[in-house]
């Protein structure tokens, strides 16, 4: 049966919903084409740091770029949205916290889409790159999906896909920051191509999602769930530490009753005869390189911080042991991270 086709152009204005550094880049790219651009976001997205080098929040980054933005807890009742929209407006969601009702969706006349940085219908939920690293998945993807009133951010989406964009991650990509960088570059390229196609009158084929092939991995809270289990193999520990590395706070454990954060971790490539009893033991320190035994081989850790972010590598001693209390590991497994427009809602 032939796929349904749709056209979206021409476009004169782009309204973006959500957060993250890429939303600023999208707005600037649209404006460079002579289009008007504006952003709607909730407080937690506007407060989020999107420029680490200059320590700029999304709100400050948008102000610096002179891009209009609006704080809206409920997009369906935001008066500014109605004032900005016309028949040549394209709406783009990017990690937005909004559920658009039927009336809002209808106002866009089919020109309301989500830029999804996941391989739909896989990886629905949240913390996509953390889950990918844990699963050793090195294929990146963007999907442009029509937004409908059934969408629940971080939970469910059912709109038809109109464009897919797949790429392989660079060989050196190992932490979420690397995945974000690659996704940012690919996302800009996709956005530019998408706008070209719209303006050139391309017809997009609508592809329904195959729910029999779907998967869901929930949102996470590093503070509550990022605890290292030293009963894991060396590869499993290293992947876990990498999965919670920058831009996230890092994986947590303890040493001499002090909570510490580990980053920059990899498996030691040479053979190391181990045993489960050695797990967590610091057996070698070479400058800033801390060698730690696991039940299968060893890992190398280069960053150890206390809870205030202060370096602790200098304070480590041979023979000390990293450990995580069993009650914290069990609590981490029970914890369910729920976010609303203000941020994390405590739930377990």
- E-strand ranges in 99-247 read 112-116, 124-125, 139-146, 161-168, 204-205, 216-217
The number of domains in the chain is 2
Which of 183, 202, 217 delimits the end of a domain?
217
Is the domain of 55 the same as that of 158? Answer: yes
Which of 150, 184, 217 delimits the end of a domain?
217
- pTM, rounded to two decimals: 0.91
In tens, the pLDDT along 270-281 reads 888 999 999 999
Predicted confidence (pLDDT) at residue 330 exceeds the cutoff of 80: yes
- Residue with the bigger pLDDT between 193 and 51: it is 193
Cβ-Cβ contacts under 8 Å for 261 (sequence gap 6 or more): 249, 250, 251, 252, 303, 304, 305, 306, 307, 309
Closest to 136 (Cα-Cα) out of 167, 170, 174: 174
Exposure b/e, 189-224, CB count within 10 A at least 16 = b: ebbeebbebbeeebebeebebeeeeeeebebbbbeb
Is the domain of 156 the same as that of 237? Answer: no
In tens, the pLDDT along 143-190 reads 999 999 888 776 777 889 999 999 999 999 999 999 999 999 999 999
CA atoms within 13 A on the CB side of 236: 11
How is residue 11 annotated by DSSP?
-
In tens, the pLDDT along 202-260 reads 999 999 888 898 999 999 999 999 999 999 999 999 999 999 999 999 999 999 999 99
Supply the mean pLDDT for the chain.
93
Check whether the bond before 312 is cis (ω within 30° of 0).
Answer: no
Phi/psi for 259 (5° steps) reads: -75, 135
The CB density around residue 86, as the number of other CB atoms within 10 Å, is 9
Indicate which CATH number applies to the domain containing 266.
Answer: 3.10.25.10
Parent domain of 313: 222-345
In tens, the pLDDT along 311-324 reads 999 999 999 999 99
Is the domain of 244 the same as that of 125? Answer: no
């Amino acid at each position: 049966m032939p796929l349904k086709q749709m056209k979206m152009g021409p476009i004169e204005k782009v309204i973006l919903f959500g957060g993250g550094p890429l939303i600023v880049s999208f707005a600037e790219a649209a404006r460079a084409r002579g289009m008007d651009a504006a952003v709607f976001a909730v407080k937690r997205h506007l407060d989020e740091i999107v420029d680490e080098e200059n320590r700029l929040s999304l709100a400050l980054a948008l102000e610096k770029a002179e891009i209009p933005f609006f704080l809206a807890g409920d997009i369906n009742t935001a008066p500014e949205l109605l004032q900005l929209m016309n028949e040549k407006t394209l709406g783009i969601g990017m990690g937005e916290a909004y559920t658009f009702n039927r009336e809002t969706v209808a106002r866009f006349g089919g020109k309301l889409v989500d830029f999804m940085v996941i391989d739909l219908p896989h990886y629905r939920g949240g913390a996509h790159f953390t889950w990918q690293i844990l699963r050793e998945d090195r294929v990146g993807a963007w999907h442009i999906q029509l937004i409908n009133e059934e969408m629940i951010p971080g939970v469910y989406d059912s709109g038809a896909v109109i464009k897919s964009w797949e790429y392989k991650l660079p060989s050196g990509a190992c932490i979420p920051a690397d995945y974000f960088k690659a996704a940012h570059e690919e996302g800009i390229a996709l956005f530019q191509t998408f706008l070209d196609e719209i303006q050139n009158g391309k017809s997009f084929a609508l592809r329904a999602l195959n729910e029999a092939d779907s998967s869901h991995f929930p949102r996470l809270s590093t503070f509550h769930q990022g605890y290292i289990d030293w009963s894991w193999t060396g590869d499993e520990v290293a992947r876990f530490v990498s999965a919670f590395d920058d831009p996230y706070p890092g994986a947590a454990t303890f040493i001499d009753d002090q909570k510490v954060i580990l980053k920059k971790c990899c498996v030691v490539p040479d053979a190391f005869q181990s045993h489960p009893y050695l797990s967590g033991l610091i057996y070698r320190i070479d400058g800033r390189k801390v060698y730690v035994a696991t039940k299968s081989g060893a890992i190398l850790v280069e960053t150890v911080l206390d809870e205030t972010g202060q370096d602790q590598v200098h304070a480590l001693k041979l023979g000390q042991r990293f450990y995580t209390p069993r009650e914290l590991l069990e609590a981490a497994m029970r914890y369910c991270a729920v976010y609303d427009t203000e941020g994390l809602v405590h739930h377990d």
